[in-house]
Each structure stands twice: as C-alpha cells, then as structure tokens.
Amino acid sequence: MEYLNIFQWPWQILQYTIDKWRISGGPSGQDLYQDCNDVIRDFERAFALENGWAVHDKELVFYLQEAALGLKQWKDSIRWCATPDHDCFSEEENEKLVQLVLTSLKEENLGLFETIGQHISDVAKLLVFIEQLYIHGHDEEASRETKDRYFKRLDTALECLAMQLVPLSTYAELVFQPSHTVGFIPIASPNTLQAIEEQKRSIKTMDQQGPAFMRLSSDPMPSPQDVRAEPSQGVAITQDLAPPSNPQVEANSERVAVPQETSGLHILFEPTNTSSDLAIDIIAVPGLGGDGFSTWTDEKSGKLWLRDFLPRSQGFRNARIMTFSYVHLDSPRLIYNVLGWLDEPAEYLLSCIKRTREETNTPRGKPIMFIGHSLGGIIIKMALKMYFRPDSDDILVSTESIIFFGTPCIGREHNAAERDLALIRIFDAAGVKQDESFGASRGLDGLIVYVSKIFREENRGLSVTSFYECRKYHDVLVLEERLARGHTGHETAIGLDANHHTICQFASENDKGFAEVHRAMSMNLIEISNALHAKGKL
C-alpha cells in the first residue's frame, strides 16, 4: 500500500484537506483542537498571569503546570507520530497537522473522536471545580473545619486531574494503524524531548505505516472492536495511579464470600474509617442470566472489581458498595410472562434498598449511584420511574447518578426490526434459546420503548454515563453503539474494548477498562458533590 509523504505536501493541500473533511453538525476536528488549546490557556492563566487565582500557591501551581504540560505533550505526540521529521515544518504547519489528524478521526471513528473530546471537556470541568474549591478554602470568613473540608476535596480533585490525563495517550494510539511502529509519548512524562529523540533513532531503519489521513486507499480505519491496541512503551494505564494497599479494605474483601442464596441486596464493602471522600451508596444491578456476583467478576482472575478494586481507589473509600440479585424466570415462563421478568425485580429492588437503608439507619438523602448491566439498567429505570411508592420517595430523590453497561436505549426513532434484533441478541447472549428469545423480545419491545421515553423526558438532571461494547460476542456485536446511548439528553457515552459480557469485568486495577470506568465514575462523583453543595447539603 502506498502512502503520501506528508512533508512534501504544499501548505494549501494541508488546509484544503482539513476543509474537505470538516463535517457539519457537532464539533469538528478543529473544534476539538481549539478546545484543547483553550483548556491549556485556562491552566496557564491560573498560574502564569500576575493576578492568576493560583499564582501564590507553589504546590498548586506545580500540579497545574504538570497538567498543562501533559496536554501540550499529548498534542506533540500526535504531531510527531504523523511525521517524525516535523522539524521541517513551521509551528503553524505543525498545528495544522494536529487538526488534520483530529479532523480525519471524526470521519473514520466517531466514537473515539467523541471519547477524546469528552476527556478534554472533563479536564476543563475539573479545572473549574479546582478553582472553586481553592477559592472557598481561602475564604477568610469560613471556619477552620470548612476550610479543611474544602482542601481535602481539593486534594482529591487534583488526583482526579492527573488520572484524567492518562488515558488520552492510549486513545491516541487508536488513531493510527495498530502495526504502526511509532510509540506515543506518555502524557506528563519526564525527559520528553529525550524520549522523542530515542524513539526517532530507533525507528530510522524501520518501514513505517502512515496514519489514517495519509492513506491513498479507501480502506476503513480499524476501530476498537476490530483491534485491541497494545499499550506503547512508557504508557502504562493507571500503573502510577494504583492506590496504595489498604489492609482494612483487603481484609474486608476476603471476608465477603459469595452466598449460596444470592437473592437480595448484599453489601460488598462497608466503610469503617472516616474519609474525606463523599459518603455514597453504590448499587449494582445485573442483567438477564447474571447475578450480583458473577456479572461483575473477571473469569480468569476471579476479581470482583466492585469489591476488590473500587473501595481502594481514590474518591470511593467512603462508599458503601452493594450488589443486587433476583430470581430469574426460566425461559418457558419468560415467553408468557416477559413483563414479570422486569417489573418483579424492579419492585423487589426498591423494597431491598428501603429495608437496608432503614436497618442501617442511613441518613435520609444519602446519595445513590446505580450501576446496571444490560437489561439490569432497564430494571433500574423501571424502579425509579414506574414502581416507586410514596414510602420510597427517599430512594428517588437520593438517586444522583446511573452508570449503564451495554443497556439498550431503544425508542420509536429506531424501526421495529432493529429493536427486535437488538433484544434477540441480548437474549441469545444470555443463553436463551433462539425460538424462545424471538417471542420474548417481541413482548419486551414496547415496554423498553416506553420506559426509555419516560426516563428521558422525566430525567431530573442525573449524572449518566453509558458504556457500550466495541468487541463482538460469538462473532456478533450484541448491542451497537447507537442503541446503547441516548438514555438522557446530556449523558456521557464511552466505548470499552470488551464484549457484552466482559464490558463490566476487569482483571486488575491496571486494566484499561477499569481505568476508564473509574475515571467516569469519579467525574460523576464530582458532579454529585457540586449539586449537593449547591443545595446546601455539604
């Protein structure tokens, strides 16, 4: 396959190519590039200007400088991978090259483009949050206790900021062919220039395969579901962010065995030490064919991430983590009582939560974050929108966030055939026989359409994140991206390099998928904290 030699391109061709690839509707590659530059400038204003809000705090300036440098190095790594001989370009031309990569990415891999954009947007939100915490912490009229609380939250936000930057390098790998020999420079790595020179020398004798926008053929770019990108040298996702060992958490994890009778609400982790992290209830609901334990457990490692990883991670050390199990109808009954498979667990879920919060004297209004896999997400929606009772109103008003893993969001905008196909694939993946899954999907279609409509219309500003699968299960992509997003008008949708079953299973704290999920959940925690603070509840 032939490739264009990019450093021979006239300047007009670079600009023409960017203009040609500009896509109407939604942010363009130039918009994403500009957003990145805007965030960098916001960081620099905070510590570089004489009247910058952080200029007098050397420790905070250090963190902000590292973040700004990290974003700059991420841009440089894309530019350098596009053309290792970028020294022959002017600075303006180099900036255009970055725009060109991002512009082509939107056309060839929209999901990856939007995910990168979401990361940059979240960095911007974090900066605003950090500024607010810093200013409130220095309020002369505030009490010492209030100041200490703000500064503890500031430390957490700064750690989240560092964590937010790490995945960008790995996402950048997917912009290029997987066999491309050029490694990406990790964000905020030391001795970056030296690393660049060493990598340039190491590849001089190798044949390089050009990035997507340089190809002459019309071959589609490999997407995450086709290729599992190997981390480049120096890019170790969450390796440096793995939380320190916590003996109390580890001991508690070992004590929690899988009960023989799993029906009901089970507490996986109960915090015992006072922490500055937000006190929150996290409740996980499995889908068809799963249970409250195996659904979230990696088969090879045997690790249940909700119990073994999440309580040790930054921001969740004060979270009570629970998992819900319910009795599944067998397949023959499922055909004739398909609605009962969802409404009975929805009512049971509410009663279990209510009883647990009463028995443990949980303060009224303690925030709740739900996690739902596949049709478990529909059960959550039904519990909140169709079956809540006046005596359970605390559950409704306390729910602040929902994390969906491969949960279908189908509505009238999708034709009946594709709705049926999506549900049939979900039933097939759960082990339901094909002749039975067809009838069950027909019975479930109208209910899910209705529930999705009600949830979208009556959503009261929940923080919602939807993860969709990018790998096939038994040669079939069970739930396509467009059918797994749209639960609310302002959700965050993120693709994971996993299939419909493994999308919510992680082998270790260094797993790329867990890093992505933890990052998204941390952002939701920050939004919850901001909302509670605005209501005067913190």
pLDDT of residue 504: 97
* Rg of the Cα atoms in the chain: 24
Distance CA 107, CA 105 (A): 5
How many domains is the chain partitioned into structurally?
Answer: 2
CATH number at residue 451: 3.40.50.1820
What is the residue type of 160?
Answer: C
Do residues 209 and 256 share a domain?
no
In a domain, 258, yes or no: yes
Do residues 209 and 252 share a domain?
no
pLDDT of residue 88: 54
Distance CA 340, CA 329 (A): 8
Give the SS3 label for residue 298: coil
How far out from the chain centre does Cα 378 lie?
A: 19
Do residues 149 and 262 share a domain?
no
User: What ranges make up the beta strands (E) of 361-513?
Assistant: 368-373, 399-405, 463-469, 492-496
Q: Which residues pair with 280 in a beta bridge?
A: 319
Do residues 209 and 257 share a domain?
no
pLDDT of residue 300: 93
Instruction: List alpha helices for 49-109, DSSP H.
Output: 58-82, 91-108
Instruction: List alpha helices for 205-337, DSSP H.
Output: 247-255, 305-308, 331-336
pLDDT of residue 280: 94
Last residue of a domain, one of 194, 214, 234: 214
Last residue of a domain, one of 196, 214, 232: 214
Would you say 332 and 436 are in contact if contact means Cβ atoms under 8 Å apart?
yes
Distance CA 396, CA 354 (A): 11
| Ranges of the chain with pLDDT below 50 | 1-24, 86, 176-256, 331-336
Do residues 141 and 36 share a domain?
yes
Do residues 265 and 207 share a domain?
no
Do residues 352 and 501 share a domain?
yes
- Please state, in angstroms and as integers, the Cα–Cα distance from residue 430 to each residue in 288, 404, 484, following that order: 6, 17, 17
Do residues 181 and 104 share a domain?
yes
Do residues 429 and 519 share a domain?
yes
pLDDT of residue 403: 96
pLDDT of residue 462: 86
pLDDT of residue 224: 32
Which pair of tokens denotes residue 427?
């039933």
Do residues 281 and 166 share a domain?
no
In a domain, 230, yes or no: no
Do residues 318 and 392 share a domain?
yes
pLDDT of residue 167: 63
In a domain, 23, yes or no: yes
pLDDT of residue 337: 54
CATH number at residue 58: 1.20.1410
pLDDT of residue 353: 94
The number of helices, as runs of H, and strands, as runs of E, in the chain is 16, 7
Do residues 129 and 260 share a domain?
no
pLDDT per position as a tens digit, 445-474:
778 888 888 888 777 678 899 999 999 998
Last residue of a domain, one of 192, 214, 236: 214
pLDDT of residue 282: 97
Q: Quote the domain boundaries for residue 510.
A: 248-534
In a domain, 77, yes or no: yes
Distance CA 81, CA 184 (A): 7
In a domain, 268, yes or no: yes
Would you say 478 and 429 are in contact if contact means Cβ atoms under 8 Å apart?
yes
The number of residues in the chain equals 538
In a domain, 232, yes or no: no
